[in-house]
Amino acid sequence: MKLSVKDYPTLSRVIIESSLPISFDIEKSSSLLMVNISTDASFRIQRGAFESRIIKSFGWSKGKDFYILAIRTKVRNFSYDYFTLSDPPKLVIDFSQIDEEKSETPDSLKQKEASRGKVPQPSTASSFLQGMKTIVIDPGHGGLEPGAKGRFGTLEKNVVLEIGLKLRAVIERNFPSRVVLTRDKDLNVSLENRAALANNNKADFFISIHANSSFRKDARGSETYFLSRDATDEEARKLAFMENNPAEFGEGITGESEDEIQMILWDMAQSAYLKQSSLLAESIQKELNLLLRTTNRGVKQAPFTVLAGVACPAVLVEVAFISNPREERSLTREGFQINVAQAIYRGLVGYIELYSQK
């Protein structure tokens, strides 16, 4: 793996080049930027001498199946952006210094907001935003229902609650809207009560957050679902059954349970919002793919009870596979959780930009 640094007039660029695809997440801490690289492969680090206005030094640590690259800067106030290239695999990170004396100008405020995952609101969506009053975030499971469990003991209910709290924070910083969580601690909340809470609060959007699980240990990536009486595929059908009947996992999908779900789908209000839910799911999935660089498993449909009774655009986001040891480790990291929250938020903004123009 090769590390190189190059200065440009407005930024300093760090290039991490590898012979293998790079799976990573990034976390900023004071004057450090931490790059967590998940891999079973062994790397030799090659780094030449460099001079940079912003980059001071590198630190490197190896774990069992991951590496941590610490990039130390000469300044505390910096923003960063990144992108990847595929041939050969490269992670490119651009660092920009934030000028304290100019920090209150409109341009620098936009830069600062962007570095914290905040997105300035587009003028085309302003009237739409003014009419949007409540967003409901639903961290899945909770209490006696832990959800899926990872190989290292990580519980789905805990990581999705952390992501839900972070998503509430980023929305409240940017939207003139009230954010309601179906649970903000480790509590039992029934599927029916989650939908009822959204309707009682006259929600404009409902976002349910989960961590996926599969018998296939190599399954990885994010998926975003909206409601349908028919599942996209057999995996989606099984996942919906597990989420709808957590205590009955392994007993099979009965004809009676299918009939009950179909009745809910026809009778409840979500059927009026399927098109909007589909667009919201597509926008969120796009941002998860771009920001997290996870495998694109796409937008899918399944008969989730928690979505069926919600009278607004509603999606269920499976942010990563807790059954995959690498993704389980990522799910426990605060930096990854923040990235997930920002991706979901940006997906919501993208939907608003699109729908406000219709």
> In order of start, what are the domains of the chain with their CATH numbers?
2-100 (2.60.40.3500), 123-355 (3.40.630.40)
Could you read off the pLDDT tens digit of each residue along the chain, which spans 358 residues?
788 999 998 899 999 988 877 788 888 877 888 888 877 666 677 777 889 999 998 887 766 667 778 888 998 789 999 888 877 888 999 999 987 544 444 444 444 444 444 444 444 445 555 567 899 999 999 999 999 999 999 999 999 999 999 999 999 988 888 999 999 999 999 888 998 899 999 999 999 999 999 888 788 889 999 886 544 444 544 444 455 445 433 333 334 344 444 434 434 455 678 889 999 999 999 999 887 676 677 788 766 777 877 889 999 999 999 999 999 999 999 989 999 999 999 999 889 888 765 5
CB 95 within 8 A of CB 81: no
* Structure token pair of residue 238: 């099984």
Q: Would you tell me how many other CB atoms lie within 10 Å of the CB of residue 166?
A: 21
What whole-number distance in Å separates Cα of residue 173 and Cα of residue 114?
A: 12
Tokens 């406000």 belong to which residue?
356
Task: Supply the Cα-derived Rg of the chain in whole angstroms.
Answer: 21
Q: For residues 151 and 163, what is the distance between their CA atoms, to the nearest angstrom?
A: 20
Residue whose entry in the numeric block shows the structure tokens 């007993």: 251
CA distance 38 to 33: 16
Is it true that the peptide bond before 88 is cis, omega within 30 degrees of 0? yes
- Taking a C-beta distance cutoff of 8 angstroms, is the pair 313, 280 a contact? yes
Cα–Cα dist 340/137, whole Å: 14
Is 0.75 topped by the overall pTM?
no
> Sheet harboring 66-73: ordered strands across?
23-29, 32-38, 66-73, 55-62
Smallest CA-to-CA distance from 34 within 60, 5, 2 is with: 60
